[in-house]
Structure 1
Amino acid sequence: MSRSIGLAHIIRHDDGTSSGVWGIYTLQSAFQPIFAFGQGKLSIVAFEGLIRPFRDGEPQSPMSFFNTCPAGDRLHIEALTRTLHLLNAGACLPEEASIFINFDPSVFTDRAIADNALRDMRLVLHEAGIDPRRMVCEVTEQKSASQETLYSFVEALRANGFRIAVDDYGADESDINRIKELKPDIVKFDAHWITQLMESGAGFALLTTMVKSFEEQGIRTVFEGLEEGWQLELAEKSGASMVQGFVLARPELASTSLRVFGKGVEAPSAVTGSSDAPASSGAAPAPRPARVFGRRNAS
């Protein structure tokens, strides 16, 4: 999809936000904060862009939307959702926050397609007033048509100056050797997998060892999908760099009110035992007292 066609599917609103139109669907951006640990506090350092489809004004599941899209349209829809997130990020997010954007490597079947898409994306970044260094490109290992395609796509991302995150690490066929080949800046651990590991002492020890190994290689780690306080505490104890999940903040539709999530916004770290609620309008109550290794081994 060329930039002009992509923008033809974008509707600009008076409040500075944008929405997209694809067939019978209206598409909106939602952003979920990502928090970093530091000095007993959790501070928002990034947001992940997530698509929210609506049909006749009623919300639809993203999976059902993408499943109704013909395979031949996926590249165009990728470009539209990416453009939408970037325009909304430029209008709504604090300027110091990183922006995580999902990419489906399977639609970039050759280097020329990837280069054209990324050239257009840099133009959108310029229009949105976003420094390309804020971009973190999330790629899911399992979605790639082949390892060669994945490596070529990641090389194209890196050549354009973007940071790389491998998403859903630990799920299904994840391969540590692929991480060695891709050399990402960030690894996002699969939520279900890390929860399973947290449920036993041996599993938590393995998780901690993996986090330490990545950190020693200069690879930052994100535990995503955290929903309970005990998971948050163990994430901090494991040495994970960042955390994301409903226990801290739910995704919110793009709004200029998101700008309040700046450098000064912090939440108590789980280990501190503070009863203060995390600083987010979508935040859950403060984590309850955590267990040593998850739900099976109460202290």
Structure 2
Amino acid sequence: MPRSIGLAHIIRHDDGTSTGVWGLYTLQSAFQPIFAFKEGKLSLAAFEGLIRPFRDGEPQSPSTFFSTCPASDRLHIEALTRTLHLLNAGACLPQDASIFVNFDPSVFTERTVADSALREMRLVLHESGIDPSRVVCEVTEQRSASQETLHSFVAALRANGFRIAVDDYGADDSDIHRIQELKPDIVKFDALWITQLMESGAGFALLTSMVKSFEAQGIRTVFEGIEESWQLELAEKSGASMVQGFVLARPELAPTSFRVFDKSRQARAASVDTTAPAASPGPQPARPAKAFGRKGAT
């Protein structure tokens, strides 16, 4: 992979944000907040970078975009999307929030590929002013062409200060093996699977047990796709570390409005004018009424 393949397809804008270009498509970053439970409240913890393709100015689904890309281009597109998200995170996200970016294991076919990807990450992080400790590398569910190469790459990521997350954890045996092999810092639970488990008492008990098992191993958990208030309430009751979903916040294209959560910027503003009212920490997620489970669920 040529060095800086991601940066070669980037267009910079006057507002500090960037877009990507790949063939007939313009690529934009969207970010969705991830919130943590802390002392009975929700606080902003991280953002997930999501790609949003456009063609002739019209939005396209990510699946449509990726389906038009030859398999031989996938490695370069992976680099481009990560580059785009990290540059935009440096430009328009709070400086203390973590950033989740995806890695497709299927593109790691040999050691040189992994080494090039790591060099690209270092270069982009230096340019965007992001410390590696803020970056969470999500390993998606696709199988790697070389498990040995993937494991070596994950070890290198961790050695360089990045954290590791396993994405879309569900009921398959392969998911358990991924946890055992990669020893992640974070596990993100599959949204559909969470919903199914929450709809019965036995399912919720299993979900709670898994969360406790991960926490005992020092692994934090994220419940994805939380779209209703009863799901949010059960997520907190289960002991999940973090939650993500439409009930809390929808993804926003860069530049986002999420800088209102930037604590360091608020502190600087307060130090400039100590007579001014305290800066607002931004909109807080609405907490639902106490109601467990879907109506009619057992």
- What are the residue-to-residue correspondences of 1:110-149 with 2, within 5 Å? 110-145=110-145, 147-149=147-149
Distance 1:135 1:4 in 2: 19
- Name the TM-score, length of structure 1 as normaliser: 0.88
Q: Does 1:70 align with 2:70?
A: yes
What is the distance in 2 between the residues matched to 1:150 and 1:4?
21
Question: Is this contact kept in 1: 2:167–2:189, CA < 8 A?
Answer: yes
Q: Compute the displacement of 1:140 (Å).
A: 1.5
Q: Return the offset for 1:159.
A: 2.7
User: Which residue is equivalent to 1:52?
Assistant: 52
Distance 2:5 2:175 in 1: 38
Distance change in 2, residues 1:75/1:176 (3 Å) = same
| Residues in 2 aligned to 1:293 and 1:176: alpha-carbon distance in whole angstroms | 27
Conservation of the 8 A alpha-carbon contact between 1:25 and 1:55: yes
CA distance, structure 2, for counterparts of residue 16 and residue 133 of structure 1: 23
| CA RMSD between the two structures | 2.0
Structure-1 residue corresponding to 2:34: 34
Cα distance in 1 for residues equivalent to 2:143 and 2:53: 21
Residue 279 in structure 1 maps to residue 261 in structure 2: no
Q: Is the 8 A contact 2:167 2:190 kept in 1?
A: yes
Mapped partners of 2:192, 2:294: distance in 1 = 13
Correspondence for 1:269: none
Q: Is the contact between residue 137 and residue 162 of structure 1 (CA under 8 Å) also seen in structure 2?
A: yes
3-state secondary structure, aligned to 1:221:
strand
**Do residues 242 (structure 1) and 248 (structure 2) align?**
no
Contact 2:233–2:290 at 8 Å: present in 1 too? yes
Q: CA–CA distance in 1 between the matches of 2:20 and 2:3?
A: 14
Residues 216 and 89 of structure 1, relative CA distance in 2, 3 Å threshold? same
Q: Find the counterpart in structure 2 of residue 8 from structure 1.
A: 8
Distance (whole Å) between structure 1 residues aligned to residue 133 and residue 219 of structure 2: 16
Q: Is the 8 A contact 1:118 1:157 kept in 2?
A: yes
Find the counterpart in structure 1 of residue 268 from structure 2: none
Conserved 8 A contact 1:171-1:190 = no
**Greater CA drift, 199-208 or 171-180:** 171-180
Which residue of structure 1 lines up, in the alignment, with residue 165 of structure 2? 165
Q: 1:171 to 1:61 in 2, by over 3 A?
A: farther
Gaps of at least 5 residues in structure 2 are 265-281
- Verify: 1:101 aligned to 2:105, yes or no: no
1:183 alignment counterpart = 183
Moved more, 168-177 or 225-234: 168-177
Q: Distance in 2 between matches of 1:221 and 1:9?
A: 34
Structure 1 distance, partners of 2:87, 2:40, is 34
Rounded to whole Å, the distance in 2 between the matches of 1:132 and 1:288 is 35
CA contact (8 A) 2:35 2:44 kept: yes
Q: What is the alpha-carbon distance in structure 1 between the residues aligned to residue 247 and residue 256 of structure 2?
A: 23
Please list, as runs of the form range in 1=range in 2, the aligned pairs for 1:11-22 lying within 5 A after superposition. Answer: 11-22=11-22
SS in 2 for 1:126: helix
Matched, 1:205 2:193: no
Q: What secondary structure sits across from 2:234 in the alignment?
A: helix
> Aligned residue for 2:79?
79
SS at match of 1:142: coil
Alpha-carbon distance in structure 1 between the residues aligned to 2:85 and 2:175: 30
- SS at 1:141's partner residue? coil
Unaligned stretches of 5+ residues in structure 1: 265-277
Provide closer, same or farther for how the CA distance between residues 136 and 11 of structure 1 changes in structure 2, counting only shifts above 3 A. Answer: same
Aligned length: 281
Other structure's SS at 1:52 match: strand
Which deviations, in whole Å up to 9, do the C-alpha atoms of 1:177-236 show, x marking residues without a partner? 431221100000000001111011011001000000100110000000111000000000
Aligned AA for 2:257?
S
Residue 230 (str. 1) matches residue 234 (str. 2):
no
> How much does 1:290 deviate?
5.2
Cα pair 1:27 1:54 within 8 Å, conserved: yes
CA displacement at 1:294 relative to structure 2 = 3.2
1:96-144 deviation digits (Å, cap 9, x = unpaired): 0000001101101112211111112111100100001100000013343
Offset of residue 295 of structure 1? 4.0
In the alignment, the residues of structure 2 paired with residue 207 and residue 160 of structure 1 have an alpha-carbon distance, to the nearest angstrom, of 33
- The percent of aligned pairs where both chains have the same amino acid is 81
Matches of 1:40 and 1:135, distance apart in 2: 26
Amino acid at match of 1:128: S
